[in-house]
A and B are shown apart, each in its own frame.
Chain A
Amino acid sequence: MKRIILYIMFFALLIVVLTACAMRTAERPRTSGHPALSEQEMLIACQDCHAQATPQTYRQWHQSGHGMATVKCYQCHGTFEGLRTEPSLDSCAVCHSGQWEHAEGQTCWQCHPAHTFEAGK
C-alpha cells in the first residue's frame, strides 16, 4: 500500500512539474533563432551569458575597439525581441557614416572581421 501511495505521489508531483514547465515555456516569447528566455533572463546583459556561451566571440569583442569603448552587443544586434543575427548596416551608420564611401559597396565586416574589427583584410 505504501508503495502505491508513493507511486501516486510521484506521478502527481511529475504532473505538477511538467505542467509548470509547459506553462513556463508557453510564457516565454520566442524570436529570430535565439533560444527562448524568461522575462527574468531577458534582464541579464547579453555579454554576461555569452562570455560562457560563446567565449571566443566574447573575447574577440572584449578585446576589440568596440569592447574597449563599451559599444555593447545590443547596439549592433538589437535586444532579444528584435535580435538581428546579422546587424543592419544602419546600426553601423550611427557612428560610421563617414566611412561609407570607403566601403565601396561591401559590408563593413567583409574587411573588418565581425567582433574583432581589426584593420581591413
Chain B
Amino acid sequence: MDRRDFIKRTAALTAASYVGINLPHGLGNLAQGADAETWVAGTCRLCGVGCRLELGLSKGKPVALRGIADSRTNLGYLCMKGTLFYQLIGHPDRLTQPLYRARKDQPFQAISWEQALDIAAREFAGAVKAHGNDSVAYYGSGQCLTEETYLFQKVMRGGLQTNNVEGNPRLCMASAVGGYLSSFGADEPIGSYADIEKAECFFLIGSNMAEAHPVVFRRLLKRKRENPAVKVINADPRISPTSRLADLHLQFRPGTDLALLNAMAWVILEEKLHDPAFIDDYCVFKAGKGDTIDLAAFRASLDAYTPEKTAAICGGNITPGVIRTAARWFARSAGTMSLWCMGINQRRQGVWANNLIHNLHLLTGQLCKPGADSFSLTGQPNACGGVREGGGLCHILPGHRPVVKDALRHQVEDAWGIPRGRIPAKPGLHTMAMFQGVNEGKVKAIWINCTSPAQSLPNADLYRKGLRRDDVFVLCTDIFPTRTTELANLILPTAFHFEKTGVYGCTERRSQLTPKAVDAPGQAKPEVWIVREWAQRLAKELGDPVIARTVEPFAGLEPDAALPEAIWNEYTQKLTGGRDNDLRGATYKVLRQMPDGVQWPAPTEAYALTGGTVRKFVRGLDPIADEEAKGSDKPFIFYGPAHADRKLYIWQRKYVGAAEEPDQDYPVYLSNGRIVDHWHTSSMTGRIPALMRANPYAYIEINPKDAARLGIAPNDMVEVESRRGKTTFPAKVIEGPMEGMVFVYWHDMDEERMINKVTMDAYDPGSKEPEFKISACRIRRVSGPKALKPFIVKL
C-alpha cells in the first residue's frame, strides 16, 4: 500500500465516523464501563494529582476504571493512564512468589515466604551485628501507601536504630520541601486545586503539566477557555504541549530562571507593584543563611537583575519587555497562581529556585486569597502523604518532625512505647549518599521498596556498579521485574493498588482511602504484612525485644483492612495531633464516607466531614489558625513549625548556573522529562499495550536549527554522550527545545535508551535533590532510521 492509497483509505474510514448512529448501547448501561457489575471507589495509582476513580469489577475481575464526578481533585476526568491501570491487576508479568539467589550471577530460585522472611531477617541482622546499625538502609517510594512507609520507618528507626530511611521523593520533591520550609515555615501548599477556578493569572514554570499532570492541566484549560482574559505565562527552555495554553512563553537558557525570577521581583519593586501592607504585616527579608535585612538592602541586591541585564543572561526569547510584561501580569491580577514541578526542583539550586517563586507571591501578597497561591505540583501519588508527612526521609520523623530536635524525637519514642534515645539524633544517609554508601560497601543490606533506582538515579551506571556487589544484600519488594530487581538477591512479590487497603495523600494536602477490592495474584502480599513478619524475626535474630515492640500493636491483625487501619490510627491519633498536618479527624470511617477524602489540618471527625482545610493559615478557614490567633487582629496566622517568629521570609538569592554548563567538549544542554502516555520507569505503563504502542520508545527532541547544522533528519539515530555515558535515540526534529538544547523522554528501560546513564548526579546542597534537568552533552548522527522494538524487563 502506498501513501496515496493509505490516505485514501483512511480518509474514507474517518468519514464513516461522522455517519454512524448505530449505538452498541442503550442509555441504560451507559457509563457502566464494559460489563462491570460493581464499582469500588479509590484513588489513581499514578501521578500526584490524586484523581478519584472507581474500579469496575465483573465476576470479581477488574474490567474498567472511570472518574468520580463529585471529586474535587479531578471533577470526573482521568488521563489515559488512570483509565487503563486496571490491566496491571492480574497482569501475566506480575511477581507472584518470593525469589532468591545468594549470589547475583546465579539464577533466581522460588522459595516460600517462611524462607524469604528468614533470609531477610538474617541478612539485615547479620549486617547490623557485623557492621553496625547504619550498615542497613531502607529506600522507599512516593507510591507506597502511608501505612507502609510509616511502618517501614518505624521498624528501621525504633527497631534497627538507624535513620537510613529514604525514598524516591528525594529525587523529585525535596527542593519543594526545602523551599516551603525556608520561605513559609511549613511544608506543602497553602491553597488547593480549587484556586484554579478563581485565578486570573497562571505562572507555569519548569512544568510540562499537560503531560505530567494532565488532569490538573485540564482544569487550567477549562478556566482559560471559559475566561479568555485569564493570563497564562509559561516559562520553560522547551516549548511543550503546555505552552499551547500560554499567552506569553518565556524561553530562556537552561538554569537562568533564577535570574529571570529575580528580574521579575526587580520590576515589581521598581514599578511599585508590591503590596507594602502584606509585606509589613507578615514578611521579613533574609539573606545568606538567615540574616535579616531590610527592604532597601533586598532591593539593592536585585540591581544585578535589571530586565536589560537579565535578558542578556537568559538568552532565548527573553527581552526586557517580556520580563516587564510577565511581572506586571503576575502582580496586577486579582489572583495569581504559580505552578511548577521538576524543572524547578531537580536542580543544583532547586531550593533557591523555589524561594524565588515564593518571593514573587510574598512581595505582591498573591497568597491566602482565592485564586492566589504558590503551588508545587507533585510527581507521585503519595510523596506528600506518605513520605513528607509520614517520616519517609532520613531527616524527618512522622508529623513533619525534624529528627535532630530532641523534644520532637522523644514525642515519637514515647508514642511508640520505646526507650528515649532509641532513635538516633543524627539524620541518616540521604538518597545519593545512601547509594554512594552502597558503592563503597558501607551499606551492607538495602531494602528497595516499590521503586527502581537502577534506572531512576542520575548517572545510573555508577550506582548500578554498587548494587551489583556481592557483599551488598539487595532486597526488592515490587509487583513487576525492573532494572533494579535484576540486581537483587531477594525479590518479594507485593500486592498492587486495590489489592490492599491504605491511604494516599496528594499534592493539595488531601488524604484519600483506597480499599482492597480484589485478591493479589499468587503469593503476593501487602507490604504491611511483610514488614510486621520481618520485624518479628529480626527481634529474634538480634535478641532485641524493642524491635518486636515496634510491631506489637499490630500483632495478629488480618492484613487486608484491620492491619492498615490500626497503623493509620496509630500514626494519625498519636503523632499528628498538635502538628500542622493534623489528621486526627481523617479516620478510615470518615475517609470511607467522603467522595474525595480530607484536606489537613483536620483535627476532628466533624470538621473532616466538611472536607477539611481548603486554605491554610486563613482564620475562618483553618481551625489551627483560629486556635493560634490569640487576640491577633490579622486575618492570617502563619503558624508553620519551622518559623518560630511566624513570619514569611523573602530571600535574597543570587543567580547560580547549572553544575555542568556546556563547554567545547560537550556543547549542548541535555534535559529530560515525562510524556503523557508513560509514567516514571514505565514498569507499569510499559505493560499496558495501548500505552506502550502510543509511545513505544524514547525519542530525543532536537531543535530544527541544530538538526540542520548536524545533518540530522527526523527518525535518524542520534547518539547522546556525556562525561558519564552514552545512549542512542531516534530523533524528533521539533521546535521544542531551544537551540543548543536537546530533550529526551526518560521512561524507556531499554539498555540503549536509558537516559539516566547520561544525566548528572550533582545535587542541591540543601535539599540533596539531584540536578536531573540540566547536564552537558554532545550529540551526533550515527545512522538513518532504524527499526526499534519496545522493551520491558522480564524475569
Residues of A within 8 A of B (CB): 33-36, 40, 42-43, 45, 49-50, 52-54, 57, 65, 68-72, 74-75, 77-80, 85-86, 88-90, 93-98, 100, 103, 105, 107, 110, 114
Contacts and interface: CB of A to CB of B under 8 A. Distances in A.
Contacts of A34: 10, 13
30 contacts: A33-B16, A49-B6, A53-B6, A57-B14, A68-B241, A68-B244, A69-B210, A70-B79, A70-B211, A70-B217, A72-B676, A74-B693, A79-B694, A80-B693, A85-B13, A85-B17, A86-B16, A86-B17, A86-B22, A89-B30, A90-B31, A93-B66, A94-B64, A94-B66, A95-B77, A95-B78, A96-B76, A97-B31, A97-B67, A100-B31
A95 B217 CA distance: 14
B237 to A, nearest CB: 20
Contacts of A52: 3, 7
Contact of B13 (A33, A36, A69): A33
A48 to B, nearest CB: 10
Given A43-B790, A68-B244, A98 B76 contact: yes
Given A34-B10, A53-B7, A93-B30, 20 more contacts: A43-B696, A43-B697, A43-B790, A50-B14, A65-B218, A65-B221, A68-B244, A70-B214, A74-B690, A79-B693, A80-B693, A86-B17, A93-B32, A94-B33, A94-B83, A96-B76, A97-B67, A98-B69, A114-B17, A114-B18
Given A54-B14, A75-B80, A70 B695 contact: no
Nearest to B22: A86
Contacts of A50: 10, 14
A94 B14 contact: no
B245 interface: yes
B23 interface: yes
Contacts of B83: 75, 94
A93 B31 contact: yes
A35 B696 contact: no
Contacts of B6: 35, 49, 53
Given A53-B7, A95-B78, A97-B67, A86 B694 contact: no
Interface string B22-50: 11110100111110000000000000000
B787 interface: yes
Nearest to A47: B694
A52 B245 CA distance: 24
A86 B22 CA distance: 9
A96 B64 CA distance: 14
A94 to B, nearest CB: 5
A85 B25 contact: no
Nearest to A73: B694
A94 B65 contact: yes
B644 interface: no
Nearest to A62: B244
Given A57-B14, A70-B214, A97-B69, A35 B1 contact: yes
Nearest to A54: B14
Contact of B25 (A45, A75, A88): A88
A93 B34 CA distance: 10
B694 A100 contact: no
B5 interface: yes
A78 B27 CA distance: 21
Contacts of B34: 90
Contact of B689 (A36, A72, A79, A95): A79
B27 A45 contact: no
Top 8 closest pairs, chain A to chain B, by CB: A98-B69, A93-B31, A53-B10, A97-B31, A86-B20, A43-B696, A54-B14, A53-B7
Contact of B221 (A68, A85, A98): A68
B300 interface: no
Contacts of B241: 68, 70
A72 B80 contact: yes
Interface in B62-88: 64-67, 69, 76-80, 83
A42 B694 CA distance: 9
Contacts of B24: 88-89
A97 B716 CA distance: 43
Nearest to B53: A94
A59 to B, nearest CB: 12
A50 B15 CA distance: 13
Nearest to A35: B9
B130 interface: no
Contact of B30 (A45, A79, A100): A100
Contacts of B14: 50, 54, 57
B11 interface: yes
Nearest to B695: A45
Interface in B559-577: none
Interface in B209-249: 210-211, 214, 217-218, 221-222, 225, 241, 244-245
Nearest to B211: A70
Contacts of B77: 95
Contacts of A114: 17-18
Contacts of B1: 35-36
A36 B5 CA distance: 11
B11 A54 contact: yes
A43 B32 contact: no
B296 interface: no
A75 to B, nearest CB: 5
B787 A40 contact: yes
Contact of B11 (A40, A53, A68, A94): A53
Contacts of A107: 21, 23
Nearest to B11: A54
B10 A70 contact: no
Nearest to A28: B1
B277 to A, nearest CB: 39
Interface core residue of A53, A100, A105, A110 (most chain B CB under 10 Å) = A53
Given A88-B25, A98-B69, A105-B27, A72 B10 contact: no
A28 B787 CA distance: 16
B69 to A, nearest CB: 3
A98 B10 CA distance: 33
A40 to B, nearest CB: 5
A80 B694 CA distance: 11
Interface string B126-156: 0000000000000000000000000000000
A36 B2 CA distance: 11
A42 to B, nearest CB: 6
B78 to A, nearest CB: 6
A33 B15 CA distance: 12
B445 to A, nearest CB: 41
Contacts of A90: 25, 30-34, 64
A73 to B, nearest CB: 9
A35 B20 contact: no
Contacts of A93: 30-33, 66
B221 A69 contact: yes
B64 A72 contact: no
Contacts of A57: 14
A98 B16 CA distance: 28
Contacts of A70: 79, 210-211, 214, 217, 241, 676
Contacts of A94: 33, 64-67, 78, 83
B546 to A, nearest CB: 50
A45 B745 CA distance: 15
